[in-house]
């Protein structure tokens, strides 16, 4: 069985290469780990061919049905010629595979073509309009069907459950517990009021984690990668992480995105009042995510500052700044 505290301890190089070769490829022995914490992602050399990208899913995080929906969404987008890196299908027509091992619980994995690029700058009006057009096209497809097994972008998932986890695990120094408790409770009430103030909020299939690190830019344009957090939620979720600066700059940038976006899909401009609430939910959720993953050896190495009194002091300060921003 896979140890949940060290979920990848049995994912050895031999197991990785043997499992990929079980899909009909001949590996040349080159295996390079890429930057990924939730899953394990590798660039794998293939004899006489372009390297592949192999993603091994964290055991127990997603159901197989949820992974199927992620892949089906990516393949559907690709069919509509929306630039997204979709999984490769095996000879059996499936995109989800299982590691070859008689000794341990199998890992689920998927193979992708290697697609390079750089993070987008999005500093010009033209680049923002282009990105807006891509997101408008993505959402126009996302709105045609519904996820049944993916998570939702909502207050319960990103706010209440993470808050309860942090308080329930006694992660905070004693002198900060009351401040965190009252502040997050008030924030969630304020956020709920923002959501409730909207007459109607359309929820569609989203990329879900559309920050610049999940967009790669080349001379021919941009393409989306990593739909691992694809979810059901409001369209603004895929836009707000691309905005930066003060409120005036954010407003101007959003308008540029929407010039391109609304060429392909209607945007409910009243939902822009959710930008700061969604940012606040992400801050709360991020802290709980780190705490939940702390037994994975990769996390203390990558985030050595997490859990210290100073970390929690700065976390609470950032939440207070969000309270001011929402006001």
Catalytic residue among 127, 226, 228, 296: 226
Catalytic residue among 181, 209, 229, 268: 209
Query: Do the two domains 13-113 and 125-326 of this chain adopt the same fold?
Result: no
Tell me the pLDDT band of 4, cut-offs 50, 70 and 90.
low
Tell me the pLDDT band of 104, cut-offs 50, 70 and 90.
low
Tell me the pLDDT band of 219, cut-offs 50, 70 and 90.
confident
Q: Domain spanning 125-326: which CATH class is it, in words?
A: mainly alpha
pLDDT at 131 over 80: yes
Q: pLDDT tens-digit profile of 10-63?
A: 899 999 999 999 999 999 999 999 988 999 999 999 999 999 999 999 999 999
Write down the architecture of domain 13-113 according to CATH: 2-Layer Sandwich (3.30)
Q: pLDDT tens-digit profile of 233-266?
A: 999 999 999 999 888 999 999 999 999 999 999 9
Domain ranges of the chain: 13-113, 125-326
What does the H/E/C string look like for the chain?
A: CCCCCCCCCCCCHHHHHHHHHCCCCCEEEEEEECCCCCCEEEEEEECCEEEEEEEECCCCCCCHHHHHHHHHHHHHHHHCCCCECCCCCCCCCCCCEECCCCCCCCCEEEEEECCCCECCCCCCHHHHHHHHHHHHHHHHHHCCCCCCCCCECCHHHHHHHHHHHHHHCCCCCHHHHHHHHHHHHHHHHHHHHHHHCCCCCCCEEECCCCCHHHEEEECCEEEECCCCCCEEECCCHHHHCCCCCCHHHHHHHHHHHHHHHCCCCCCCHHHHHHHHHHHHHHHHHHHHHHHHCCCCCHHHHHCCCCCCHHHHHHHHHHHHHHHHHHC
pLDDT confidence of residue 247: 87
Mean pLDDT of 92-102: 86
The question of whether 228 is a catalytic residue gets the answer no
The question of whether 226 is a catalytic residue gets the answer yes
Mean pLDDT rounded to a whole number for the chain? 94
pLDDT confidence of residue 3: 46
pLDDT at 2 over 80: no
């Amino acid at each position: 069985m896979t140890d949940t505290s060290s979920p990848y301890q049995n994912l050895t190089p031999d197991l990785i290469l043997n499992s990929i070769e079980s899909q009909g490829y001949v590996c040349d022995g080159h295996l390079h780990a890429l930057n990924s914490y939730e899953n394990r992602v590798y660039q794998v050399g293939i004899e006489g061919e372009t390297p592949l990208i192999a993603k091994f899913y964290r055991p127990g995080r997603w159901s197989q049905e949820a992974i199927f929906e992620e892949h089906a969404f990516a393949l559907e987008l690709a069919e509509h010629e929306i630039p997204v890196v979709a999984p490769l299908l095996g000879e059996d027509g499936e995109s989800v595979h299982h590691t070859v091992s008689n000794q341990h619980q199998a890992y689920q994995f998927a193979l992708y073509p290697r697609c390079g690029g750089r993070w987008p700058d999005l500093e010009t009006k033209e680049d923002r309009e282009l990105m807006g057009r891509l997101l408008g096209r993505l959402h126009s497809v996302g709105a045609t069907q519904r996820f049944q097994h993916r998570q939702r972008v909502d207050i319960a998932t990103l706010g209440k459950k993470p808050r309860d986890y942090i308080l329930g695990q006694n992660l905070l120094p004693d002198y900060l517990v009351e401040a965190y408790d009252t502040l997050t409770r008030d924030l969630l009430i304020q956020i709920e009021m923002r959501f409730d103030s909207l007459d109607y909020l359309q929820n569609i299939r989203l990329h879900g984690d559309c920050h610049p690190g999940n967009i790669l830019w080349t001379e021919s344009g941009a393409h989306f990668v990593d739909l691992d957090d694809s979810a059901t939620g409001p369209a603004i979720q895929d836009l707000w992480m691309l905005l930066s600066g003060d409120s005036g700059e954010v407003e101007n940038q959003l308008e540029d995105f929407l010039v391109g976006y609304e060429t392909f899909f209607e945007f409910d401009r009243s939902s822009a009042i959710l930008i700061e609430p969604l940012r606040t939910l992400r801050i709360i959720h991020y802290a709980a995510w780190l705490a939940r993953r702390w037994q994975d050896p990769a996390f203390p190495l990558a985030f050595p500052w997490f859990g210290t009194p100073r970390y929690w002091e700065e976390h609470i300060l950032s939440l207070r700044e969000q309270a001011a921003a929402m006001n």
